[in-house]
Structure 1
Amino acid sequence: MNRRTAIRRSLRPVSVLWLLGTFTGHAVAHGGSLRGSSESLSVPLWLFLLTGGGVVSASFLLASFVTDRTFIREIHDWRRRFSSLSPDPLVTATRAFGVLALVVIVAGGVLAPVDPRENVAILVVWVGWWAGYTATVYLVGNTWPALNPWRTIADVGSAVLPVGTATYPKRLGACPSVVGLLALVWLEVVSPLADDAELLVGVVLVYSVITLVGALLFGSDRWFSTVDPVARVFRYYGRVAPIRRTSAGFEFQLPGARLIETKLVTGRDEVAFVVAILWVTTYDGFVATSLWADIAGVVVRGGVPPLLVYILALLGGYGLFFGVYRLASELTRTTAETYLTAGEIARRFAPSLLPIAAGYHLAHYLSYFLSLSPALFGALSNPLSPPTPMMIILPSWFGGLNMSFVLLGHLLAVWVAHAIAYDLFPSRLQAIRSQYPLVAVMILYTMTSMWIVSQPTITPPYL
């Protein structure tokens, strides 16, 4: 296929997606903004959700009809490389900045004003890091290996302390990181961690001790590649991004192109972690809806302790998400008529879930970051005596932009799954049929995410 033919063919899916966006734009443009907006949908909720599911379905049909193996390979093999003359000083400066940020968080949490809108620790952790920085990881590239202050401290400590004296049990795999991620999100939901600076500092210190001890016992490479949940989240999010660092400099590929790599997810434990990334962001949004308030109210009035209600919801929801994905993998064996095991199918298709998580994270936190960014910069300018905190009031149409992020994440997920199917199965028909169950799951995830983002945000009750 020559370049001109490839360009013409590449314009076909782009044109159809543009038309789909045009016709569905009115449905998502009034979805209501995140963080407590009481805007109502300008269309019936059922029609709004079906529109989102329809866009995902149409994108799958479009990809199936207008692409072939050669075209997909050309898209995913396209890249541009940029040489870097001397990245070491930049890496060193980034490492020092990460350690400095950790010091500011710990000191600011104790010495800065207690008002969460003025406290530099709260604003840096939740606004600057978890909302703002995380978005740069899946939109630009993963800089966390250099910025990670705990890895920097562990590397310095390894020069004077014995490192790697213990052998990490291989049978555990990535399971501790799954437990750690679920535990951190549950703690963030059920405690005043986003409002109480002293509690936040306490959690950061406990996390620091566990992380540094683990890195020194098992070695930094093993700990941060396998056990540490934060490093693993950024590692997977970084595969969605278009830029990565190589030994020769930097490499640019289209977003999501690296998600089809065969060894990106290597076992069931890593499949479980990918599903956990998707679930915890959904859980964080779901427990701030009025539906959850009603459900939790009924259960708590029945005598169940509130903390137990939230942990049962966390584990039950995660089990549901994992079970649905596992069921789709089992059904794929039938629709694709393959001898591959369900576990192998689940492993190969798991990376296609990451754009969904990234799109929902952006929809969930971009409004939060933009609204509180003036308060963040004010606190950074004078941590001990910040100016009066200010907030940006976002326009009503911004809620529609959040819906677009959800849809774009799902559209990219469909494309990645389509590319993986063609890489996994030799027959075109087999590759297309293998995606039926997974696309059905993605439609379910899409409608769930859009429903959550469209709901007014309330304070989680009974805590």
Structure 2
Amino acid sequence: MSVRLVAGTAGVVAGVVATCSRTALAHAGSLSGSLRPVSVPLWLVLVSGGGVVGVSFLLTSLVTDHEAIRSLNARRVAIPSVADTRTLVRSILRWLAVAALFGVVSVGFLGPTEPLRNLAVLVVWVGWWAGYTMSTYLLADTWPVVNPWRTAAEALPVESRPLPARFGGWVSVLGLLLLVWLEVVSPVSENPRWLAVVVVCYSTVTVAGAAVYGDPWFDRVDPVARVFRLYGRLAPVQRTGDGYALSFPGAALARRPTPMDEADVAFVVALLWVTTYDGLVSTVPWNGVVRAAGRVGVPPLLTHLVTVFVGFAVLFGAYRLAASLARRTADTYVTSGFIAGWFVPSLLPIAAGYHLAHFLGFFLGLAPALVVVALDPLAPPYALPTLALPGGFGTLQLAFVVAGHLLAVWVAHARSFELFPGRLQPIRSQYPLVVLAICYTVSSLWIVAQPFAAPIR
């Protein structure tokens, strides 16, 4: 069966499922009370969890032509550019980003205390963590150019040193989990003054670390740079030795010639987990758990903090178990650690799909408020405009989730044929990973289908 036929059939499956659906309430990521829940199809939640992932695996399994798979992922179209213009644009963007960082800190301290009227809160959570992050996997990773902390570090006259081994990738895993905890449930997310303090502290540590250790700090330690770099491998525009090229989304992940090490595997799993955690803590059932813990003396913030680490540990253990089982189903001498590192890039489209589903409505809904507050950041109006999303937006959200899973199945399929010989061994290697994907999808989309409730703090 041809690649085009498989892709087309998968699209029809998703479309039929979306058409034959009834609705339930779901939440979209937001500052507390800033957006209303949107409706999503309940039937699509159930079918997407098992049917779509399973059917997409069966369909891609019919594509066993190594050369066809490789040629599809290798297709690139060069993007012409003028070197002088590119250098000028890069310089302008770098210093604009530095100015924006100073502006965020200043407005955070001096602007209004109401979160929706403070430009720092809107820029950080709406413009940057939601809008800009989406651009890194939908278009291209521009963070190496606009990263204000890199620009500031390069301006300091400090001699670089080798990065110590203790500053490995696990530090960035810890940083990512803590940052998401701060974003989702701590007072920092809606308190402009606290947000400004956190930005100053993070900036100080990052600039100092990058000034002393150079680019390896952003490669291994800084969680923000690692998030954007990994999401950027999913984007259609990729940097090459000759400039930039356009390729199929996710093709760069399929082409990766080496496995990721254990710390990289942990970071990708953490990136996937935090998208689920972001939704879990904003559901009515989870609020019940937090209240029950509070009755026995456990503070809500501590419950949320423990949850972010325990949930990561469970998902990381489940993925390592799936990789170990894949070694058996593939009947190979390749180690389970190698298999875990080889297939973990296929989790990135899932993480991006959930991020897009969770934050697109958030970004669109609050973008008008961001623009209005930016016009007068120190004295913005009290009545701020927001965009009301159409009733069918929930279906679009679920389509993003399904699309992420479909692309993940394709990436895993392509990588399996690069690792294992023949036609059956690559397919058998994916069985445990597909089961894990189905279980993860069912649980995550159950979370999406729950009524929205502001996290208890």
**What TM-score does the superposition give when structure 1 sets the normalisation length?**
0.93
* Correspondence for 1:57: 54
Contact 1:56 1:411 in 2 (8 A): yes
Q: Distance in 2 between matches of 1:199 and 1:283?
A: 22
Structure 1 residue 239 and structure 2 residue 239: aligned? Answer: no
Q: Distance in 1 between matches of 2:193 and 2:174?
A: 24
- Following superposition, the deviation at residue 456 of structure 1 comes to 2.1
* Correspondence for 2:65: 68
* Correspondence for 1:164: 160
* Correspondence for 2:405: 410
Contact 1:137 1:234 in 2 (8 A): yes
- Following superposition, the deviation at residue 263 of structure 1 comes to 5.0
Aligned AA (1:78): R
Q: Deviations over 1:137-179 (max 9, x none)?
A: 000000000111000000111xxx22224x3223542111001
2:369 aligns with one of 375, 381, 384: 375
Aligned AA (1:394): L
Q: Secondary structure at the match of 1:66?
A: coil
Q: Distance in 2 between matches of 1:42 and 1:258?
A: 32
Contact 1:116 1:195 in 2 (8 A): yes
Q: Distance in 2 between matches of 1:368 and 1:64?
A: 36
- Where do residues 3-152 of structure 1 align in structure 2 (5 Å cutoff)? 9-26=2-19, 30-35=23-28, 37=36, 43=42, 48-86=45-83, 87-152=86-151
Q: Distance in 2 between matches of 1:189 and 1:229?
A: 16
Contact 2:14 2:402 in 1 (8 A): no
Contact 1:256 1:355 in 2 (8 A): yes
- Please list every run of 5 or more consecutive structure 1 residues that lacks an aligned counterpart in the other structure: 1-7
Q: Secondary structure at the match of 1:117?
A: helix
| 271-280 or 258-267, larger mean C-alpha shift | 258-267
Q: Secondary structure at the match of 1:456?
A: coil
Q: Distance in 2 between matches of 1:78 and 1:26?
A: 33
Aligned AA (2:295): R
* Correspondence for 1:3: none
| 181-190 or 322-331, larger mean C-alpha shift | 181-190
Q: Distance in 1 between matches of 2:359 and 2:158?
A: 41
Q: Distance in 2 between matches of 1:306 and 1:410?
A: 33
Contact 1:120 1:380 in 2 (8 A): yes
Contact 2:40 2:398 in 1 (8 A): no
* Correspondence for 2:182: 187
Contact 2:167 2:220 in 1 (8 A): no
2:354 aligns with one of 360, 372, 375: 360
Change (3 A) 1:43 1:101: closer
Q: Secondary structure at the match of 1:81?
A: strand
Q: Distance in 2 between matches of 1:193 and 1:346?
A: 35
* Correspondence for 2:32: none
- Following superposition, the deviation at residue 342 of structure 1 comes to 0.6
* Correspondence for 1:201: 196
Q: Secondary structure at the match of 2:112?
A: coil
- Following superposition, the deviation at residue 127 of structure 1 comes to 0.4
Q: Distance in 2 between matches of 1:29 and 1:357?
A: 25
Q: Secondary structure at the match of 1:354?
A: helix
Q: Distance in 2 between matches of 1:42 and 1:142?
A: 32
Structure 1 residue 447 and structure 2 residue 446: aligned? Answer: no
Structure 1 residue 317 and structure 2 residue 311: aligned? Answer: yes
Change (3 A) 1:89 1:42: closer
Q: How many aligned positions are there?
A: 448
* Correspondence for 1:4: none
Aligned AA (1:200): L
Aligned AA (2:291): G
Q: Secondary structure at the match of 2:239?
A: strand
Contact 1:142 1:234 in 2 (8 A): yes
Contact 2:39 2:391 in 1 (8 A): no
- Following superposition, the deviation at residue 83 of structure 1 comes to 2.3
- Please list every run of 5 or more consecutive structure 2 residues that lacks an aligned counterpart in the other structure: 29-34
Contact 1:83 1:248 in 2 (8 A): no
Q: Distance in 1 between matches of 2:246 and 2:21?
A: 31
Change (3 A) 1:244 1:39: closer
Q: Secondary structure at the match of 1:70?
A: helix
Structure 1 residue 213 and structure 2 residue 212: aligned? Answer: no
| 364-373 or 61-70, larger mean C-alpha shift | 61-70
| 285-294 or 343-352, larger mean C-alpha shift | 285-294
Q: Distance in 1 between matches of 2:94 and 2:47?
A: 46
| 170-179 or 191-200, larger mean C-alpha shift | 170-179
| 28-37 or 260-269, larger mean C-alpha shift | 28-37
Contact 1:33 1:397 in 2 (8 A): no
**What TM-score does the superposition give when structure 2 sets the normalisation length?**
0.94
Q: Distance in 2 between matches of 1:265 and 1:124?
A: 36
- Following superposition, the deviation at residue 307 of structure 1 comes to 2.6
1:286 aligns with one of 280, 283, 298: 280
Change (3 A) 1:384 1:29: farther
Q: Secondary structure at the match of 2:117?
A: coil
Structure 1 residue 253 and structure 2 residue 247: aligned? Answer: yes
- Following superposition, the deviation at residue 29 of structure 1 comes to 7.0
Q: Secondary structure at the match of 1:56?
A: helix
Q: Secondary structure at the match of 1:250?
A: strand
Change (3 A) 1:263 1:68: closer
Q: Secondary structure at the match of 2:78?
A: strand
Q: Distance in 1 between matches of 2:184 and 2:229?
A: 24
Contact 2:73 2:255 in 1 (8 A): no
- Following superposition, the deviation at residue 457 of structure 1 comes to 1.6
Aligned AA (2:187): P
- Identity, in percent, stands at 48
* Correspondence for 1:174: 169
Contact 1:32 1:396 in 2 (8 A): no
Contact 1:406 1:449 in 2 (8 A): no
- Where do residues 420-459 of structure 1 align in structure 2 (5 Å cutoff)? 420-459=415-454
Q: Distance in 1 between matches of 2:55 and 2:122?
A: 41
- Following superposition, the deviation at residue 308 of structure 1 comes to 2.3
Q: Deviations over 1:246-289 (max 9, x none)?
A: 34221111000010244565310110011011011111111101
Change (3 A) 1:455 1:26: farther
- Following superposition, the deviation at residue 434 of structure 1 comes to 0.2
Please provide the CA RMSD for this pair. 1.8
- Following superposition, the deviation at residue 186 of structure 1 comes to 1.5
